[in-house]
Amino acid sequence: MTLPAANLLSDETSPYLRQHSHNPVHWRAWSPESLAEAEKTQKPILLSVGYAACHWCHVMAHESFESEDVAAVMNRLFVNIKVDREERPDIDQIYMAALTAMGEQGGWPLTMFLTPDAKPFWGGTYFPKEPRYGRPGFVQVLEAVNKAWQGKRESLTNSADQLQAHVSARLATAQPSAQLSGTQLKSLAEGIYGMIDQEAGGLRGAPKFPNAPFMQALWLNWLINGVEQHREAVVNSLEHMLRGGIYDHVGGGLARYSTDAEWLVPHFEKMLYDNAQLLRQANWAFAATGNELFRIRIEETVAWLLREMRVEGGGFASSLDADSEGEEGLFYTWDKDEIGAALGGDASAFFETFELAAPANWEGKPIIRQTPSQSRFELAHAEEAARMKQRLLAVREQRVRPGRDDKVLADWNGLLITALAECGRTFGRAEWIAAAEQAFNFVVAHEDASGRLPHSILGSRALYPALSSDYAAMANASVALFEATGNGAYIEQGQQFLAALDRWYSDADGTGYFLTASDSADVPIRIRGDVDEAIPSATSQIIEAMVRLASVAGSVELQDKAWKVAEHAAGRAAHQQYGQAGIVNACALVLEPMKLVMVDNKSAPQFIPVANRSPDPRRVDIFVPLGADGELPSLPGEVVPSTTKAGAYLCTGLSCLPTITDPAELERALHR
């Protein structure tokens, strides 16, 4: 098949790729046909990776990819392939690892030059059209790469072979297994704590990312080893984020990161995965501290998700753009006059609750944030603050909205389903649990004829096959929905997800899983999903799903399998634990799985409310109706709980506490 000399992105499932469908560049999507074109023509590949909400991706597109002059050079010298990193994280990870191995700092847009057989030989991130920022102009880069390819092809090919081998060794190969030990989590958490900004929270320096896997390591080390400083680091970090400019105080939800060290100026795109993980961790923090700030921010963020991020059918869109009307953050920022016009006489109350702030070099309008005293004022006047926000939101709704990436990603939705189910339990919000169920059903409804999940869904189209992260996240979502509803069908579905992982993603030795399916025909390296990005790695989510499903089912076989997979993952993570914190966190769950079985009166429960307001990432909660005589969950040692009277059975590993018959005692046990 010969591809036409034209832009071929107009019919893709990715909104990001479609954004580039009118470029004069002869873009192709990543596919076997595109790779075959490079092999046939012996042109090097220019690979451009980005995502719909990426500000600098838009800048480079406007400057270079929309330029007829630049496009003419690209079309003459290269086979040009555009990739949405959210649709193809497997491709993104390979070439981002290659760029890092070259000693360059990663980021998006990722601009890589590949040999015709897709091996990387040089690259960078954003290149301006004209020389500036200490960078050459993009046409200069294109011509220099072409000159090197024409004159030093053998040398570049040899270098590309070596770089490909390095990336493969890092991302795809097996390593000796490691014995699981509590010291792994302790060492990781202590290292992370040493990086914490004790004043502003988060990691020291700028830019500042939420980094949920790091925060979870600190939280688990508090739960398991009682290190109070680590709990306080997470609570302090969350408080600063939720008071800062990185949080959307008018509409709810967290931006992807702040460009400064104070959480003030966000990179204004909003990502589904950040907010899913924020909800979970803020829920833990609320349970541990009772701080109403966490409750309010959870409610605001869920309201935003339900209002602005749901697509038809109940799935959740991927992201909101940073830009509107060509300006980053314009939709979200305010000046004093706009606040006055929107609130009238209540503007003075607004400035007791919030402030408008901007650093010296910020060119846009000021950003809303809170000081600690203003946050306390909001909590004392919560209803008044909520009314002011609603009035500002109504005004903001009249502005030109940022673009929304409507594709529904199975793994990101799995993360949010889990968060909604858990928060719905904590706050008694049945509608949140119902929204989680709708999203779950939306993803499952798009299984293909052979029962395989897609990775991405956009309208009537879906991208198959899924990644292992999709099955893992949806398996964990199955358990969260089972805990929230008591519906055993969710556990059956979770077990089917694990069976699909075994069939399509397992390695030959049964010691781990690859990110891509065995029949994925267009991956240059079949990598393991070990590396955390903004979300925990696929491997870590698989291990967690195995542990949780084993606990629910009382399956010693599955528990042993989780242990085996965890040992091999720990071996691979041993020398790069900061990049694979998710694996260390998951291994901690394998070491000490917790299970709470509650025999309770469904119409007037005593123990279920205690468990609901005491979330713990280590624990699986199982409700058994009083008097039930059907299939009952087993406790360690294959003991079956008595259902003749209400009681709670709390087990860690192979040991259980004596039967708890007093809800107050269960409360103490869960917070011990």
Is 384's pLDDT higher than 90?
yes
Question: Are the C-beta atoms of residues 558 and 489 closer than 8 Å to each other?
Answer: no
Tell me how far CA of residue 32 lies from CA of 76, 86, 134, 186, in angstroms. 21, 19, 36, 45
Beta-carbon contacts of 603 under 8 Å, excluding residues fewer than 6 positions away, are none
Around Cβ 24, how many Cβ atoms within 10 Å?
A: 17
Beta-carbon contacts of 396 under 8 Å, excluding residues fewer than 6 positions away, are 250, 251, 331, 332
Residue appearing with tokens 């390296």:
525
CA gap 457, 317 in Å, rounded:
9
Beta-carbon contacts of 146 under 8 Å, excluding residues fewer than 6 positions away, are 44, 77, 78
The closest alpha carbon to 645, from 667, 620, 625, 672, belongs to 625
Task: Tell me the domain boundaries of the chain.
Answer: 15-171, 194-405, 407-591, 594-670
Total-model pTM: 0.95
**Which pLDDT tens digit goes with each residue over 205-251?**
999 999 999 999 999 999 999 999 999 999 999 999 999 999 999 99
pLDDT score for 1: 67
Q: Is the peptide bond before 4 cis (omega within 30 degrees of 0)?
A: no
Fold classified for 15-171:
Glutaredoxin (3.40.30)
pLDDT score for 672: 77
Question: Are the C-beta atoms of residues 53 and 271 closer than 8 Å to each other?
Answer: yes
Write 92-95 long-range contacts (CB < 8 A, 24+).
92/49, 93/171, 93/515, 93/527, 93/531, 93/533, 94/167, 94/171, 94/523, 94/524, 94/525, 94/527, 95/47, 95/49, 95/120, 95/123
pLDDT score for 44: 97
The closest alpha carbon to 331, from 322, 340, 339, belongs to 322
Fold classified for 407-591:
Glycosyltransferase (1.50.10)
349 burial level (CB within 10 Å; 0-12, 13-18, 19+): middle
The closest alpha carbon to 409, from 301, 309, 529, belongs to 309
Average pLDDT, the chain: 95
CA gap 246, 206 in Å, rounded:
13
**Which pLDDT tens digit goes with each residue over 560-610?**
999 999 999 999 998 888 999 999 999 999 999 999 999 999 899 999 999
CA gap 471, 542 in Å, rounded:
8
Question: Are the C-beta atoms of residues 275 and 242 closer than 8 Å to each other?
Answer: no
CA gap 348, 357 in Å, rounded:
16
Mean pLDDT of all residues in 421-435: 98
Residues in the chain: 672
> Which pairing describes strands 594-600 and 619-625: parallel, antiparallel, or unpaired?
parallel
The closest alpha carbon to 236, from 201, 203, 261, 210, belongs to 201
Q: What is the DSSP string of 150-186?
A: HHSHHHHHHHHHHHHHHHHHHHT---------HHHHH
Is 330's pLDDT higher than 80?
yes
pLDDT score for 284: 98
Rounded (to 5) percent helix, strand, coil in the chain: 50, 15, 40
Is 294's pLDDT higher than 90?
yes
> Residue 324, SS3?
strand
pLDDT score for 242: 98
- In percent, the amount of the chain with pLDDT more than 70 equals 100
